[in-house]
Amino acid sequence: MQGIDGPEESGGSLLPSDSDSARIRAFELVRDVQAADPGADSEIARLLARAEREGWPDVARGCLYAQAVSAWFASADDLSEIVEALLLRSVDDGDNVMVALALAMRAARGTTGDDPAAAAAADADLARAAVLVEEGEGGPLERISAHTALGVAFGDRGLWELGDEQHAAVFTIAKSKAPGTLDYVLAAVVYNRAEVQVSWACRLRQLGDSAGVAKRLQIWKEVSAATSSFSVPEAWRTELAALGVLLA
């Protein structure tokens, strides 16, 4: 199991013995949740408890993010509560990049429903998050996650160009690190960026912009091909193939 090098055992799995490996494991668990790993939720809970016990605030924030992603994928009723907990913890810790991440997740949820006031508040969250992630300092895992959440929130609003800029920023960050070191967080970004191209291309086709559609198709091919470099769940590959048929 990657990122685990310590002897402590809980619930049948080893827990990281230092804050650096535990922080990496928290973000690996985000990937595991996205891949529907049945043991991910329980490990997140154990790792969060360990982070609180050891006084590892960055690990605790990573675990809260992992819990929020899990609740998102499960459409859980407590998603808003978890996102608020992540937001409050990040504000208290002075981590503006994770504040941006929480705000972006809250903004994406705010696109649903018919309440104009809630929609306006969500847009304000999104604008604030976009500023914070550019001005804030943080590790590559945190910054990649914040840009990804922003990309999703922009995409939910049909602002595909802004969303694509956020996904592109992720790869700029990744290029500054040793090849392969961030692959476990890039698979979802690759999928999200490919999906954005499809939505964008469909709207451009409605507008009769053939050149624009062709450009989106080309970028989709490049991004989709990049999934061969990452460990991507088979279901995602199937969905990408279906999107390719739609584009064709």
Task: Determine the Cα–Cα distance for residues 225 and 207; give it in Å rounded to an integer.
Answer: 27
Tell which residue, 97, 81, 91, has the closest CA to residue 27.
Answer: 97
Q: What is the pLDDT of residue 154?
A: 94
H/E stretch holding 231: none
Reported confidence tier of residue 247, pLDDT bands at 50, 70, 90: confident
Query: Which tokens hold the place of 205?
Result: 């086709």
Q: What is the pLDDT of residue 239?
A: 86
What is the β-pairing status of strands 9-10 and 13-14?
A: antiparallel
Task: Determine the Cα–Cα distance for residues 129 and 131; give it in Å rounded to an integer.
Answer: 5
Cβ pair 188, 31 in contact under 8 A: yes
Query: How big is the chain by its Cα radius of gyration, in Å?
Result: 18
Residue 248 has pLDDT above 70, yes or no: yes
- 82-122: per-residue pLDDT in tens? 999 999 999 999 999 999 999 999 998 765 556 788 888 99
Residue 11 has pLDDT above 80, yes or no: no
Q: What is the pTM of this model?
A: 0.87
Q: What is the pLDDT of residue 13?
A: 55
186 vs 93, higher pLDDT: 93
Reported confidence tier of residue 204, pLDDT bands at 50, 70, 90: very high
Residue 12 has pLDDT above 90, yes or no: no
Mean pLDDT, range 174-182, rounded to an integer: 77
Cβ pair 111, 157 in contact under 8 A: yes
Cβ pair 16, 47 in contact under 8 A: yes
Residue 222 has pLDDT above 50, yes or no: yes
Q: What is the pLDDT of residue 131?
A: 95
DSSP 38-61: TTHHHHHHHHHHHHHHHT-HHHHH
Per-residue b or e along 195-230, where b marks 16 or more CB atoms closer than 10 Å to that residue's CB: bbbbebbeebeeeeeeeebeebbebbeebbebbeeb
Q: What is the pLDDT of residue 15?
A: 66
- CA distances from residue 61 to 28, 145, 152, 156, 165 in whole angstroms, order as listed: 14, 12, 20, 25, 25
Q: What is the pLDDT of residue 3?
A: 36
- 46-85: per-residue pLDDT in tens? 999 999 999 999 999 999 999 999 999 888 888 999 999 9
